[in-house]
């Protein structure tokens, strides 16, 4: 293909400390050839393709560490093709897919299937996570070593936490030998049993069983204690409460090395939004109080929390049109991740640089992949966003197969205009 000259943009690439007006050159192999103010609009060679970005913002393609795809087993909720379309319209070019499929991704024979499906049906980079334990039952560990050789870069039981401390200790002990990344969904199942929303005034009023913030804190504290004995690459998938933010802050100050993420839902919504039993806001971890939300935002600002994820969990209408206790857990979110992240920039809570880091270079570093970074020679995975464009979320316009957005009718500021993967323009907004 011809070289592409992307010109007239604000380039924001935290990995290389770039925030300047300029452009980006994609070479004929789809790799980044040059970036920054040196790429000017003028005196361009003749045999190239020029793309005028019209003063929009150019950032690395987003790396989303927590995404659920329905393949195999739940294709009616989301398949690789619909996920890919949804991701690209949100500027997401790389995802880590959760292993909570049917069957569970817990052995090497599944990995080839997933890679093939991901490659054939989607245009984004799919990095499948495998489960930590067989069938995510929390009892017997999976073959990290063999799975890692097959190209699995992260291990997690996805929607579940490993409850048994003995099993978790052994997993962490063994993980270091293969340098496997362990991602924990921190929740004590006994404390949160039958829990539906945050434990507090709202759960008391709605008569719904609460999930105490302690259920999260206790697992994080347990795992951090293990980390002292059995060092490994450890990541807490998503935290939801002020209590956990304090635990993580203290541990990092004490010099412990690990990372933590937060769902965009917990940064943009609270338990008050649940209103009259809105099942689209039934999430795990649950939405908590405004005080918790503020502390999570501060966590991003101060670098206590490293990563923001969409926690994209498509659920079909039938799974949500039930009573609150029977309804499925989770929200669709990959298409609205970036605009919700930008809300925190527009309302001056966090700097653009910090926010973009949390969805590009930070997850890429944790996953140890060459993504989220506009360095010369990397794949040209790029997102072009009009950061001031206002729009309103309409579920009928979402590209994901399931329409369970928790922010229907919310006015957002910031919209993805173009997305490139490996140098190809794979998404362009028409309207």
Partner 1 sequence: MALIKKLKAVKINQNHLLGIQDLSLSEVLHILDEAKTFINLNKSSSKKVDILRGKTQINLFFEPSTRTQSSFELAGKRLGADVMSMNIVNSAIKKGETLIDTAMTLNAMHPDIIVVRHQDSGAPNLLAQKVNCAVINAGDGKREHPTQALLDALTIINRRGKVKGLKIAICGDILHSRVARSNIYLMNMLGAEVNVVGPKTLLPHSIERLGVKAFTDMKKGLDNCDIVMMLRLQNERMQGSFLPSAREYYEFFGLTPDKLAMAKKEALIMHPGPMNRGVEIDTNLADDINRSVIREQVELGVAVRMACLKIFCKKTL
Residue 400 DSSP SS3 = coil
Tell me how far, at minimum, the Cβ of 5 lies from partner 1, in Å: 54
Residue found under tokens 């910090």: 354
Asked if 76 and 318 touch (Cβ cutoff 8 Å), the reply is: no
Interface residue with partner 1 among 50, 75, 200, 230 (CB under 8 A) is: 200
> Residues 64, 292, 306, 311: which is the catalytic one?
311
DSSP labels for 228-280? HHS--EEEE-----HHHHHHHHHHHHTT---EEEEEHHHHH--GGGGTTT-GG
Nearer to partner 1, 6 or 327 (CB): 327
Tell me how far, at minimum, the Cβ of 322 lies from partner 1, in Å: 6
**Total site size for partner 1, rule CB under 8 A:** 20
Tell me how far, at minimum, the Cβ of 297 lies from partner 1, in Å: 23
Q: Which two tokens stand for residue 65?
A: 């560490």
- 311 labelled catalytic: yes
Which 201-220 positions form the footprint of partner 1 (CB under 8 A)?
Answer: 201, 203-210
* Peptide linkage before 102 cis (omega within 30 of 0): no
DSSP H or E stretch at residue 20: strand 18-26
Tell me how far, at minimum, the Cβ of 330 lies from partner 1, in Å: 18
Question: Among 46-54, 124-132, 194-202, 222-230, which window interacts with partner 1 (CB under 8 A)?
Answer: 194-202
Tell me how far, at minimum, the Cβ of 246 lies from partner 1, in Å: 20
Decide if residue 199 touches partner 1 (CB under 8 A): yes
Interface residue with partner 1 among 276, 396, 430, 431 (CB under 8 A) is: 276
Nearer to partner 1, 217 or 252 (CB): 217
Nearer to partner 1, 120 or 194 (CB): 194
φ, ψ at 335 (rounded to 5°): -80, -20
Nearer to partner 1, 84 or 192 (CB): 192
Question: Among 80-88, 118-126, 321-329, 360-368, which window interacts with partner 1 (CB under 8 A)?
Answer: 321-329
Distances (CA, A) of 228 to 35, 170, 173, 344, 424: 41, 13, 11, 34, 45
Write the CB contacts of 111 (distance below 8 Å, at least 6 apart in sequence): 105, 128, 130, 147, 150, 151, 152
Q: What is the rounded end-to-end Cα distance, in angstroms, of the chain?
A: 27
- Identify each DSSP E strand in 27-159 by its residue range: 32-36, 48-52, 57-60, 62-67, 92-97, 125-128
Tell me how far, at minimum, the Cβ of 276 lies from partner 1, in Å: 6
Question: Among 227-235, 320-328, 345-353, 409-417, which window interacts with partner 1 (CB under 8 A)?
Answer: 320-328
Give catalytic residues, as residue numbers.
311
- Contacts with partner 1, residue ranges (CB under 8 A): 199-201, 203-210, 276-277, 318, 321-326
């Amino acid at each position: 293909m011809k070289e592409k000259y992307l010109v007239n943009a604000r380039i924001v690439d935290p990995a290389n400390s770039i925030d300047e007006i300029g452009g980006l050159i994609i070479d004929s192999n789809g790799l980044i050839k040059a970036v920054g103010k040196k790429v000017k609009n003028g005196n361009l060679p003749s045999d190239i393709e020029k793309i005028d970005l019209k003063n929009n913002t150019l950032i690395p393609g987003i790396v989303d560490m927590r995404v659920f795809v329905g393949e195999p087993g739940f294709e009616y909720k989301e398949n690789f093709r619909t996920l890919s379309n949804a991701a690209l319209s949100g500027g997401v070019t790389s995802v880590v897919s959760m292993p909570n499929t049917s069957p569970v991704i817990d052995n090497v024979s599944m990995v080839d299937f997933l890679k093939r499906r991901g490659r054939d049906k989607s245009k984004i980079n799919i990095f499948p996570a495998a489960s930590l334990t067989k069938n995510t039952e929390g009892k017997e560990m999976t073959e990290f070593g063999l799975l890692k050789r097959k190209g699995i870069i992260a291990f997690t039981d996805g929607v579940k936490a490993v409850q048994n401390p003995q099993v978790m200790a052994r997993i962490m002990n063994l993980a270091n030998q293969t340098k496997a990344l362990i991602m924990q969904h921190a929740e004590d199942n006994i404390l949160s049993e039958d829990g539906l929303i945050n434990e507090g005034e709202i759960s008391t009023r709605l008569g719904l069983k609460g999930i105490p913030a302690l259920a999260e804190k206790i697992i994080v504290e347990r795992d951090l204690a293990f980390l002292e004995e059995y060092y490994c690459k450890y990541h807490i998938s998503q935290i939801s409460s002020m209590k956990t933010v304090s635990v993580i802050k203290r541990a990092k100050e004490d010099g412990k090395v690990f990372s933590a993420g937060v769902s965009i839902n917990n940064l943009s919504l609270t338990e008050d939004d649940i209103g009259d039993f809105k099942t689209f806001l039934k999430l795990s971890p649950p939405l908590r109080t405004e005080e918790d939300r503020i502390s999570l935002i501060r966590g991003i600002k101060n670098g206590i929390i490293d990563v923001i994820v969409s926690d994209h969990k498509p659920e079909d209408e039938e799974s949500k049109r039930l009573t609150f206790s029977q309804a499925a857990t989770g929200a669709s979110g990959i298409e609205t991740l970036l605009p919700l992240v930008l809300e925190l920039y527009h309302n001056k809570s966090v700097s653009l640089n910090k926010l973009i880091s949390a969805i590009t270079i930070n997850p890429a570093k944790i996953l140890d992949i060459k993504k989220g970074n506009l360095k010369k020679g990397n794949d040209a995975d790029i997102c072009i966003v009009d950061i001031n464009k206002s729009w309103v979320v309409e579920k009928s316009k979402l590209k994901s197969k399931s329409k369970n957005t928790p922010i229907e009718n919310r006015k957002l500021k910031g919209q993805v205009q173009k997305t490139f993967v490996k140098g190809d323009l794979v998404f362009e907004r028409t309207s």
